[in-house]
Structure 1
Amino acid sequence: MIKITARNIQRLNLLLAAAAVILLSACSSAPAKDQSADYESAAPTAMADDSQNMGSIYRSGYGMSLFLDRRARQVGDIITVTLEEKTDASKSSSTATGKESNISVPTVTLFGRGVTHNGVPIVSSGVSSDQDFSGQGTSSQSNSLTGSITVTVSEVLRNGSLRVRGEKWVTINQGEEFIRIKGIVRPEDIGPDNAVPSYKVADARITYSGKGALADANSMGWLGRIFQSVISPF
C-alpha cells in the first residue's frame, strides 16, 4: 500500500514536469522542412533537334524574334526582381464610459406610520450606482527590405502572366543567409532592363533568413520557449 504524503506528491510533480520538458524538447528539436525544392530554378523547354540545315535563314524549332526585346516571357527565362518592400502601420484606440443610476423608493408605512427600529427606517428608501471605465492602447510596426534577386519563370499562365520563383544564398564566415521569393508577374510590368519591382509581384512570398552559428546564437533556446509558451504558468 502506497502512503500518500506531501513528499510523494512533490516527487510526482517533479516527474510530471520532467516528462513535459522532455516531450516539449523533442517536439521543438524536430528538423524543419526543407523548402529548397519549392524555389528551384525551372529548366526551359527542350528544343527539337534540327540536324538538317538547308542554308535558309529560317530553321524549324529555333525562334528568331527580330522585333522583340529580351524580356522574360517563357519558362526558364531569367528575370530580376528588385526588392523594394517598406511597410509602416500604427493603431491607437481609447475608450471611456460612465454610468450613474439613482432609484428612490417611497418610505414604507404600516398603519400610517413608518417602519423603523430605534428611529432608523428598516427598509432603505433609495438605491444608487456609479460605474466608470477607461482604457487605451497603441500599436506600431515598421518593416524595410531592399536589394535584388534574379529568378526564373516556372510557368506561363493562360492569361499570359508569369509565375516566377528563385532563391539566392550568401555564405559569410560561419553563417549562411538566403533570400527566397515566388509569385506572379505581369509581362507589362517588366521594365526594359528585364527587371520588375517586388511590389508589383502578385501573391508574393518573400523570405529573408539565415542558418549557422550566428543564426543559432540569435534564437531562443528550447527551455526559454517553454517559459514563453501559453502553457507556462508564470
Structure 2
Amino acid sequence: MTRIAFVLMATALLAGCAGFEHKPDPHYAASYPEPTAPVPAVPSGSIYQAAYQPGATLYLFEDVKPRRVGDVLTVVLDEETSASKAAKTGTDKKNSTDISNPTLLGSPVEFSTPGFLPLASHSGNGLGTSLEADRSFSGSGNASQSNRLSGSVTVTVAQVLANGNLVIRGEKWLKLNQGEEYVQISGIVRPADIRPNNTVLSTQVADARIAYTGKGAINDANVMGWLARFFSSALFPF
C-alpha cells in the first residue's frame, strides 16, 4: 500500500508539472495571411506585371510598412506611470446643554422624599440638569504607485479597418532558468505612426491591452498564499 501511495503521489506531481506548460492565448494568437489562389504568370515582355504574386511585391518609392493581415510589426514598449494621492480628514464637535430647575407656583420643584424616586435624598432634589458631549475624529491616508515597462514585442496584423488603421496582437514567451515570462499586447495602430524601421511606440497604440505576467519559483515567492489573502480580504471583519 505504501508503494502504491508513493506511485500515485509521484504521478500527481508529474501531472501538475505538466500543467505548467504554456498554452497560447487565442486573444493574442498570431494572424496569418489569407490564402490566395495562384495566378499564372503571363509574360508580357515588360517589367510591370498586373498579376499579383504573394511575396513578390516590391515598393520602390515608399517604406515597407505592414498593410495586410499577417504582416509583422514591432511594438517598442515605453510605458511609465506614476500616481500619488494623499487625504486627511479631521472633525471636532462639542455640545453643552443646561436645563434649569422649573418653578411651580413661584417655588422650585424639589423631591425631598427618600424612596419616591430611586435617587432621591432627604433634600435638594430638583429637576435641573446639564448635558455635555465631546466628539472628535481624525483620519489620514497616503498612497503612491510607480510602474515602468520597457522592451519590444513583435506582433502581427489581425485586421485592417475601413479607415486603414491596423488591429494588431501578439505575445512574447520567455522561458528562463527560474521560470517563464509572458508579454502580451493588442490594440489599434495608425499607419502614419509607424516609423521607417517598422516599429511603433506602445504609447501610440490605441485601445492598448498590455499584460506582463510570469510563472515559476521567483513569481510564486512574490505571491501571497491563499490563506493569507483570505485574512487580508475586505470580507474579514477584524
TM-score normalized with structure 1 length: 0.75
Give the equivalent residue in structure 2 for 1:61. 52
- Structure 2 distance, partners of 1:130, 1:175, is 59
Deviation at 1:93, TM superposition (A): 0.7
Deviation at 1:189, TM superposition (A): 1.6
Secondary structure of 1:73 counterpart: coil
- Structure 1 distance, partners of 2:130, 2:89, is 31
- Structure 2 distance, partners of 1:229, 1:92, is 23
Measured at CA, do residues 219 and 97 of structure 1 come closer, stay the same or move farther in structure 2, by a change above 3 Å?
closer
The count of aligned residue pairs is: 204
Give the equivalent residue in structure 2 for 1:74. 68
Deviation at 1:64, TM superposition (A): 4.7
2:172 counterpart of 1:156: no
Deviation at 1:230, TM superposition (A): 5.1
Do the aligned residues in 1 keep the contact of 2:102 with 2:108 (CA within 8 Å)? Answer: yes
- Structure 1 distance, partners of 2:187, 2:220, is 29
Identity of aligned residues (%): 46
Do the aligned residues in 2 keep the contact of 1:81 with 1:195 (CA within 8 Å)? Answer: yes
Which ranges of structure 1 fall in alignment gaps of 5 or more residues?
A: 1-30
Deviations 1:88-125 (A, max 9, x none): 11111111122233334343012211123455452134
Q: Which of structures 1 and 2 has the bigger CA Rg? A: 2
Give the equivalent residue in structure 2 for 1:49. 38
Aligned positions of 1:1-234 closer than 5 A: 36-54=25-43, 55-56=45-46, 57-62=48-53, 63-116=57-110, 117=112, 120-229=124-233
Secondary structure of 1:138 counterpart: strand
- Structure 2 distance, partners of 1:196, 1:203, is 14
- Structure 2 distance, partners of 1:217, 1:98, is 46
Secondary structure of 1:152 counterpart: strand
Letter in 1 for 2:203: Y
Give the equivalent residue in structure 2 for 1:22. none
- Structure 1 distance, partners of 2:126, 2:135, is 27
Measured at CA, do residues 48 and 68 of structure 1 come closer, stay the same or move farther in structure 2, by a change above 3 Å?
farther
Do the aligned residues in 2 keep the contact of 1:181 with 1:207 (CA within 8 Å)? Answer: yes
Deviation at 1:170, TM superposition (A): 1.5
Secondary structure of 2:192 counterpart: helix
Measured at CA, do residues 125 and 90 of structure 1 come closer, stay the same or move farther in structure 2, by a change above 3 Å?
same
Measured at CA, do residues 231 and 34 of structure 1 come closer, stay the same or move farther in structure 2, by a change above 3 Å?
farther
